Chains A and B, each alone.
Chain A
Amino acid sequence: MRYLLFFVLTLNLFSFDAVLNIEIDVESKATLSLIEDSKTAGSTVNHSKMFTTLLNDLQMSGHFIVDKQLRRGNFNDILVPAELHDREYVLKYKYNSTGTTLNIQLVRVADALVMFSNNYSVNAMARYPFLAHNAIVEINKVLGYEDISWMKRNILFSKYTGSSKSEIWIADYTLSYSSVILRGGLNLFPKWANANQSAFYYTSYNNLLPTLYRVEMNSGARKKVVSSEGMLVASDVSRDGSRVLLTMAPNGQPDIYEMNVRNGSTKRLTSFSGIDVNGKYIGDESQIAFVSNRIGKANIYTKAIGSRSVSRAAHYGKNNSSCDASGQNLLYSVKEGGSTNIYLGSINSSYVRPLTSNGRNSLPRFSTDGKVILYIKQNGGRNSIGYMNLATKQSALFSMQSGKIQSIDW
């Protein structure tokens, strides 16, 4: 069994808290080299970034050992350079001078077979990372690997920009593309309204009462959904987008409600006199996980919708103030000593496993398929977005330039 050992920032056999990772078994990974078309190479400032993005995406997929050397050649040449004959694949790509189109060919070196080719286009150069993300997702699929569609999804987050000020941003998973989409006052807790990310909810604190709005991405149209005294958060959306879990606080009592999107009706799901927040659908969405301080400190609980019975779900930690759920799996943040760490657990068992080991890590989120985890890491005044692929054990951190992330969804 071959082992490759990369730079290790922190070594912990049970967690992934490192910018780079330890590869334990590389025999199942395919070797691959990138070749940029020499005719269009370097014609835009983003050319080196495109190479880096393709490289990172291939590595992040967890299925490739990628040659980090930037090579150039004729895109239409059928011959594979001799020095690459020990590779399994060559990925040839042509990134045009407008910076908005990417052509690719995946070549199997052994017989020079073009296994896959496609052309991709975006409507603005700034969105170039999505060219690479989409290409690598499709290459991954063509070769029969596990789906990594999470890689091409948009990240939606709010960040504080000053006292009582925040902005809502959209980005690709690496933050190489990012754009503010809503500013003006205090706008928080953005949440995708559906699986195809064509709309999102957010809470405005600019009125007397916190107000939930829904924004359609293509038109920018904004519609008021509901207001609530005290606080208002859309914390989860059902898979079909028809129901939303809200935290509302009429009379100053924060509880979890479920809203029917079609008719706007709401029903209260929790009734504890303290704090119940952060509702998340679990399993077949007839149950929820949520955060409550019903035994004094914040912890994670589950209950069936319509039932009064509540069960404790987190089997580790005494101060767990955020959670996410996917199927029967649970993610939560645990404040322990001077650190806040992310733990992976199960609704149905006492299984628990740390995913980080130091620092301040919060806002854990499952990908839509539950296989990749996103979280926020705070280091001094700087935020980073971290990812961990539970299947391939690949991990990465991407730093934000400024601002503190308040809430995130993807």
Chain B
Amino acid sequence: MTKQILFATTFTLIMVGCAPKNLNTTDNSTIVPTGDNTEVYQNVDPYGNGNGQYGTGQNGNGQYGVNNAYGKVGIQNVYFDSDQYNITPDKLGIISQNASLLRGKISSGARVKIEGHCDATGTDEYNYALGLRRAKAAKDALQNSGINPRQITLVSMGESSPECTTSNSSDCYAKNRRVEFKVIQ
């Protein structure tokens, strides 16, 4: 039986979109303290217990600078209900206390960075927006406590930096729905 080839044999080089050279980048311009960059802090212990742990769930009390120059109570996180971004009345005292602690640093030229965080429910893009609204609510509350809003930078971290990673329980998720206040130079 004669073999007929309906389509000519061709040689196809598949351009699969060669992967670019592996980009290892840390964007050297960052001035945001990472987990191990404490030099931008002055008289503030960013980890709350001095052991360098951050965001691992091992130090989940959300307090900074417990034994620092500010005394026994430092800058505290503010926590939120699920899918909410309003500062509830019971949290206003924390805001007021944070404002008192931050006022001196701001007058020395520092800025405040407010990070908004979420738990892992929902889609990440929505969560980044939710985290940002939380940060905005905290900024507005600080402004009401006398902090200049121009000295405040907002960023949302979505669900990328959970405070609690030990489980998917509602208690663990509750620790991740928060804003954090950081002093940056």
Residues of chain A having any CB pair with chain B under 8 Å? 78, 111-123, 127, 130-131, 134, 142, 152, 154, 160, 163-164, 166, 170, 179-189, 197-198, 204-211, 215-222, 229-231, 233, 235, 247, 249, 251-254, 274-278, 291, 297-298, 319, 321-322, 333, 335, 362-363, 406-407
CA distance A235 to B125 in the complex (A): 9
Please state if A78 and B16 are interface contacts (CB–CB under 8 Å): no
Please determine whether B23 and A181 come into contact, CB atoms closer than 8 angstroms: yes
How far is the CB of A376 from the nearest CB of chain B, in Å?
10
Q: Which 7 A-B pairs have the closest CB atoms?
A: A220-B20, A252-B136, A322-B123, A206-B27, A254-B129, A220-B21, A321-B126
Asked whether, in the complex, the Cβ of A170 is within 8 Å of the Cβ of B129, the reply is no
A176, chain B: closest CB distance, angstroms: 13
B25: chain A residues at CB < 8 Å are 182, 184-185, 187, 204, 206, 222
User: CA–CA, A122 to B128, complex, Å?
Assistant: 39
Where the two chains meet, the residues of B that have a C-beta atom closer than 8 Å to any C-beta of A are 1, 3-7, 9-14, 16-27, 29-32, 34-35, 54-56, 83, 113, 121-126, 128-133, 135-136, 139, 153-158, 160-162, 165, 184
Given the known A-B contacts A78-B1, A123-B18, A130-B16, are A335 and B160 also in contact in the complex, defined by CB atoms under 8 Å? no
User: Chain A: which residue is nearest B137 at the CB level?
Assistant: A252
Q: Name 29 A/B residue pairs within 8 A (Cβ), A-sorted.
A: A114-B4, A120-B12, A121-B12, A127-B14, A152-B14, A154-B16, A154-B17, A163-B161, A163-B165, A184-B27, A187-B25, A188-B124, A207-B32, A208-B31, A210-B155, A217-B18, A218-B20, A219-B20, A249-B132, A249-B156, A252-B132, A252-B136, A254-B129, A275-B129, A321-B122, A322-B123, A322-B126, A335-B122, A362-B123
Q: Tell me the nearest residue of chain B to A362, going by C-beta.
A: B123
Give chain A residues whose Cβ lies under 8 Å from the Cβ of B160.
Answer: 160, 163-164, 166, 186, 188, 205, 406
A165: nearest chain-B partner, CB-CB: B160
Task: Tell me the smallest distance from the CB of B15 to a CB of chain A, in Å.
Answer: 9
Contact A297 B124 (CB under 8 A): no
Whether A185 and B27, one on each chain, are in contact in the complex, defined by CB atoms closer than 8 angstroms, is yes
Q: How far apart are the CA atoms of A217 and B13 in the complex, in Å?
A: 17
Known: A182-B22, A204-B27. A247 touches B125 (CB 8 A): yes
Decide if B14 touches A120 in the complex (CB within 8 Å).
Answer: yes
With contact pairs A164-B161, A185-B27, A322-B125 given, residues A114 and B6 touching in the complex (Cβ less than 8 Å): yes
When the two chains form their complex, are residues B154 and A222 in contact, meaning their CB atoms are under 8 A apart? no
Q: How far is the CA of A46 from the CA of B59 in the complex (A)?
A: 47
* Smallest Cβ-Cβ distance to A253: which chain B residue: B136
Contact residues in B for A221 (Cβ distance below 8 Å): 20
Are A278 and B154 in touch, CB under 8 angstroms? no
Rounded to whole Å, the gap between the CB of B175 and the closest CB of chain A is: 13
- A134 vs B125: C-alpha distance in the bound complex, in angstroms? 33
- Which A residue's beta carbon lies closest to that of B12? A120
Instruction: From known contacts A206-B25, A233-B128, A252-B133, infer whether A218 and B18 are also in contact, taking CB-CB under 8 Å.
Output: yes
Asked if residues B12 and A119 are in contact (CB atoms below 8 Å), the reply is yes
A229 touches B155 (CB 8 A): yes
- Report the nearest B residue to A298, measured CB to CB: B126
Given A163-B35, A185-B26, A275-B133, the answer on whether A252 and B162 have CB atoms closer than 8 Å is no
Question: Is the CB–CB distance between B132 and A121 below 8 Å?
Answer: no
- The answer to whether A119 and B11 touch (CB under 8 A), given A197-B17, A220-B23, is yes
Q: Is the CB of B3 within 8 A of A254?
A: no
- A119, A122, A278: the one contacting B16 at CB < 8 Å is A122
Most buried by A among B34, B113, B125, B156: B125
Q: Is the CB of B23 within 8 A of A215?
A: yes
Q: Of A131, A183, A186, which one neighbours B23 at CB under 8 angstroms?
A: A183
**In the bound complex, how far is the Cα of B6 from the Cα of A252, in angstroms?**
62
Across the interface, do B9 and A163 meet the contact criterion of CB distance under 8 Å? no
Q: Give CA–CA (A154, B15) in the complex, Å.
A: 11
